Structure 1
Amino acid sequence: MNDKNPNRLTEYSCLVFFLILKLVLSFVLVNSVYELHRDEFLHLDQANHLAAGFTSVPPLTSLFSWLIKAFGSGVFMVKLVPALMGAITILYCWKIVDFLKGNLLAKCLVAVACLCSSLLRLNTLYQPNSFDVLAWTAIFYYLIKYFDKNEAKYLYYFSIFVALGFLNKYNILFLIIGLLPAILITSKRKIFADKHLYLAILLALLIISPNIIWQINNHFPVLNHMKILQATQLVHVNRIDFFIGQFLFFISSIFILFAGIGSLIFYKDFRKYNWIILTYTITLIVFSYFKAKDYYALGLYPVLLVFGAVYLSRVLATKYIITGLLFAFNIGSFIYLLPLLMPVYSPKEIVAHHKRFERGGALRWEDGQNHALPQDYADMQGWKELAKIVDVAYEKVKDKSTLLVRADNYGQAGAINYYSNYKNISAVSYNADYLYWFKMDKPIKDLIMITGWNDEDPQRKREQPYFGKITKIGEIKTPYSRERGAGVFLLEDAKTEVSGIIKSEIEEEKSDH
């Protein structure tokens, strides 16, 4: 038997162990008290409205949603997809280590570094972020391969992941902005003399062209989306906090991360990879300039952890005690910080440990203020309760073909469509993509509205002359839910002009978008 076979078998066994562990942890470290996240509902509903583009995100997520729908749309499948993307990210890290001729220790180091970091939390949510990190990691892998092997196929693989990354999240453009100058000012600029680069660019443009055409035909809604994001969320971003966040994301793996950054700058064996550290630096500066959210840059880190792991595996080759301490710190500190990184605590437990979460910055929301729960956790409660109340209202309506269910926001609309017992309920909202999903082919006779009205609310008083009866069915009472207090109202016996008013409001909202 070849002497290398046992070692290879051991490596494969370790790889399979880490990939399975990644999937398992994505499920077991989420407290069952939490429901799906508001963003997940929107993405899942896109499967019912497949298109070349959406106002909220590019179209790739809708295709993943279509696959989830094909497998029954259960919570297990919703959680499995991002977990698989995280596992494939680890696989690419493993492949980069292999290419750098790193040993099993280096592979285990980078796998543990990825597992014991914020990437684990990222991969529990069905959002474009998981594929974003995967695409960035794959792009680095294929460029590293191309620069070493000079084989054209790697340029095409590179271009495919750039295109898929673009169709997943426009965030990938920041990586390209960082890559271009980094390659131009190093010896790697010879890539621009390779005709296959331009053919690969054409391939990428061909893949993304349906979305580009959609953006043109719809007057570039991405620009307005960015404007709204800047006004409502990015305005609260602090640049210092952005840079602090880069290291807090990998605080348990900090020695591996620093080793990666340091070795790419000073270690002579990695000198030919200096374009990577330049890309990292330039991209962070651009992100900071635009006051981006700190997690936008997460895709830069798996490759840095790879180089850190390979370097440390060489330095610590026979230093078994230090190696053991490194693993112990990585895993031990992650376990200690676990309640801050993963939703393992219930809301009551988080409130009971309020000070700890506040010190860790976990309670700060996009509005720049501290709240009782982390924002993501507050966004994962109250949805089932809402759907049940809406179902009660829905049952009271005799002619459901002339019913409209209108929510205040996309989270409410998506949660109703996901959790309701009536799968044809088709709740909509003037918010996000739902604005374009109204079905107004019949005059509206009854309306179910989810809103924060009270008895003296001017909006409620405005609606009264248009309906024969307005009844409050119930409201969300789940403690700490971001939607707590939102009421469900049944508006019956509408006058004929109601449909016209709703259509005009839709057009007005569209013009504002």
Structure 2
Amino acid sequence: MSQQKATLPAIQPFAKRRQVLPSLKLKRYQLGSKEALILLTTCIALAQTLLHLVAINAYGFHEDELLYMTLGDHLAWGYIETGPLIAVIGDLSKWLFGDSLIAIRILPAICAGAIVHLTGILTIRLGGKQLAVIMACTAVAFSPAFLASGALFIPQVFDELFWLLTVYLVVCWIQKPNDTYLYELGVVVGLGILLKYTLLLYVAGILLGIAYTPSLRVLFKKKSFYFSMLIAFFIVLPHLIWQIDNNFPAFAHYRELKETQLNYMYRLDFLTQQLLVNGPAVLLWLVGIIYLFYSKKLKAYRFFGVSFLIVMAVLALLKGKPYYGFGAFPPLFVIGALCLENWLTIKNLSIKIALLSFLIIPNFMLSFISLPILQIENAAKVFAWARQHLGITFTVKWEDQKIHKINQNYADMIGWEELAQKTSALYMTLSPNEQKKTIIYTESYGIASAVSYYAKYYPLPKVVSLNGSFATWAPKNVDDKLIISFARSKPGRRLNPNILEMQHFVVNPFSRLYGMQIEISKMAVKTEFERLKSLSAEKLN
């Protein structure tokens, strides 16, 4: 990616040239130099990476991590649940590092550090010095929202990087209108859409923000802009063709998501959580968005605020999940940091230290529950204390909108290997002849993904599921005579089986799987499977 000197004609960086700290020699360059500032951003990014490394082997695989790893075993131009890029990233990660718990979380940790570093680079481009760089970078590095995103192999952390890269390239073009930046922008947007469709909303907000700014409307007169859009289109085209060929399963998945989860969420909760998820760093983005529309010197960058407001308004209206819009925060952290640095030029050092302490220390302390660092029993005690004494409940409110003992992400990381072990043990009680006629059936993508992954380590039959993309891999028919299935309470609600054997599995009360049953059933598998497959096909239409 091109790096150009910030030379914004008629738009001067508003942070004054000064040194917040005394001028000290750092080998060959001064502490206030561009090189030293880049080194500072690198150090903060590495500090966040170290936190992620502390928690990298905690608990176990998250059910979504298992899903995306499974998608990587079935590379395609599309999936029902998500865009195709996360599967490619997962496959690349397994090729580079392996498929262990630690290995699969290395790329997310690196990506999270890259977000911190790019936030610092953006701050420097806009004229920020030491104080601004520290505030903006630590706001991202230690924010509970961004720490949690970078802890798991999920699309979220990669999506946040694509959002920030999009803004960064637009800023580069504003400061030096070079067509190369627009072409790079087309590549980033195209790849970002293949990861998560939410980038489309952010890009729409950015373009509306540019249209709102008269001095930037020249962008829409440039052929290179439309060529960059064409680049993005051709990158997305194979996936679009896949969607057309498969009757747009993305829309069916959204309808199901809306019916099962989003309809039970509250718009006020969404907006409230945006104020809480970044801890004290809320000060930075609130100051940033106000200053964007107040300062004439920042007029060219008001699209930061316009895009943010559009994203939050649309997501609130659609009852989106709180983390869908996290990628819009870093640019506002940057502006807020620049504003405070500019304002604090006349203040003494103690005020600056107090401000940094306010922004950094609480979030650093929160990192012990933002990341799975504590033993799960101790984490549950912390959540209980926060609920009882501080009234904080959103951290333990799950998708069912009920309050639980621990964070949902943590519950989703516990019990999957135990599930596989005990399923395998039950399977091995069958005779060799019975084993050949047995399949696993589940309605849960988490169980299906876990069984698919752990089949490499434990004897397990083939798994069949009609949930999401598993339905596209399911056989057209089955001739097996025995079925292993799972139920939380009444076995009769699961395929109406004639149960031969049943046992409980996953005894850890902190797991979402706690209390489920494992069943071996003898039934007319073929007839029942055809009925369920027909119902699944109706959902996708």
- Superposed pair shares fold, TM > 0.5: yes
Q: More deviation in 220-229 or 19-28? A: 19-28
C-alpha displacement at 1:416, in angstroms?
2.2
**CA–CA distance in structure 2, aligned partners of residues 185 and 293 of structure 1:** 28
- Structure 1 segment 107-506 matched on structure 2, within 5 A: 107-117=133-143, 118-187=145-214, 188-317=216-345, 319-353=348-382, 354-357=384-387, 359-361=391-393, 362-397=395-430, 398=432, 402-420=437-455, 421-422=457-458, 425-439=461-475, 443-452=479-488, 454=490, 457-459=491-493, 462-464=496-498, 470-491=500-521, 498-506=525-533
Pair 269,369 (structure 1): closer, same or farther in 2 beyond 3 Å: same
Per-residue deviation, residues 296-317 of structure 1 (Å, max 9, x unmatched): 1111101111122222223324
**CA–CA distance in structure 1, aligned partners of residues 222 and 461 of structure 2:** 54
1:96 to 122, 139, 147: 122
Q: Secondary structure of the equivalent of 1:462? A: coil
Pair 474,368 (structure 1): closer, same or farther in 2 beyond 3 Å: closer
Kindly indicate which of the two structures has a greater share of residues assigned to helix.
1
Gaps of at least 5 residues in structure 2 are 1-26
Asked if the contact 2:437/2:482 (under 8 Å) is kept, the reply is yes
Pair 104,426 (structure 1): closer, same or farther in 2 beyond 3 Å: farther
C-alpha displacement at 1:200, in angstroms?
0.8
Q: Secondary structure of the equivalent of 1:254? A: helix
C-alpha displacement at 1:99, in angstroms?
1.4
C-alpha displacement at 1:2, in angstroms?
6.8
Per-residue deviation, residues 141-163 of structure 1 (Å, max 9, x unmatched): 01111122111111111111111
Q: Secondary structure of the equivalent of 2:302? A: helix
C-alpha displacement at 1:340, in angstroms?
4.5
1:63 to 88, 94, 112: 88
Q: More deviation in 110-119 or 412-421? A: 412-421
- Let me know the Cα RMSD of the aligned residues: 2.5
Q: Secondary structure of the equivalent of 2:469? A: helix
C-alpha displacement at 1:500, in angstroms?
4.5
Asked if the contact 2:380/2:406 (under 8 Å) is kept, the reply is yes
Asked if the contact 2:438/2:484 (under 8 Å) is kept, the reply is yes
Matched to 1:291, the amino acid is K
Pair 451,408 (structure 1): closer, same or farther in 2 beyond 3 Å: farther
Asked if the contact 2:506/2:513 (under 8 Å) is kept, the reply is yes
C-alpha displacement at 1:339, in angstroms?
4.5
Partner of 2:65: 40
- TM-score normalised by structure 2 residue count: 0.87
Asked if the contact 2:123/2:338 (under 8 Å) is kept, the reply is yes
**CA–CA distance in structure 2, aligned partners of residues 162 and 339 of structure 1:** 34
Asked if the contact 2:423/2:460 (under 8 Å) is kept, the reply is no
Pair 185,504 (structure 1): closer, same or farther in 2 beyond 3 Å: same
**CA–CA distance in structure 1, aligned partners of residues 98 and 175 of structure 2:** 44
C-alpha displacement at 1:250, in angstroms?
1.7
Q: Secondary structure of the equivalent of 2:525? A: helix
**CA–CA distance in structure 2, aligned partners of residues 182 and 5 of structure 1:** 35
C-alpha displacement at 1:27, in angstroms?
2.8
Matched to 1:103, the amino acid is K
**CA–CA distance in structure 2, aligned partners of residues 503 and 60 of structure 1:** 32
Per-residue deviation, residues 156-179 of structure 1 (Å, max 9, x unmatched): 111111111111111112112322
Q: Percentage identity across aligned positions?
A: 26
**CA–CA distance in structure 2, aligned partners of residues 234 and 62 of structure 1:** 25
Aligned length: 503
C-alpha displacement at 1:77, in angstroms?
1.9
**CA–CA distance in structure 2, aligned partners of residues 159 and 349 of structure 1:** 46
Q: Secondary structure of the equivalent of 2:507? A: coil
Asked if the contact 1:470/1:490 (under 8 Å) is kept, the reply is yes
C-alpha displacement at 1:509, in angstroms?
1.1
Per-residue deviation, residues 91-141 of structure 1 (Å, max 9, x unmatched): 221221221122233222211111121201111121111111111101000
**CA–CA distance in structure 2, aligned partners of residues 205 and 12 of structure 1:** 34
Asked if the contact 2:424/2:460 (under 8 Å) is kept, the reply is no
- TM-score normalised by structure 1 residue count: 0.91
Q: Secondary structure of the equivalent of 2:496? A: helix
Per-residue deviation, residues 20-41 of structure 1 (Å, max 9, x unmatched): 2222211324683x22211111
Q: Secondary structure of the equivalent of 2:502? A: strand
**CA–CA distance in structure 1, aligned partners of residues 279 and 362 of structure 2:** 8
**CA–CA distance in structure 2, aligned partners of residues 485 and 248 of structure 1:** 33
Q: Secondary structure of the equivalent of 1:316? A: helix
**CA–CA distance in structure 2, aligned partners of residues 230 and 101 of structure 1:** 43
Asked if the contact 1:404/1:444 (under 8 Å) is kept, the reply is yes
**CA–CA distance in structure 2, aligned partners of residues 292 and 224 of structure 1:** 16
Per-residue deviation, residues 436-486 of structure 1 (Å, max 9, x unmatched): 2224677324322223354xx43468322xxxx722254222112111122
Asked if the contact 1:79/1:126 (under 8 Å) is kept, the reply is yes
**CA–CA distance in structure 2, aligned partners of residues 416 and 259 of structure 1:** 48
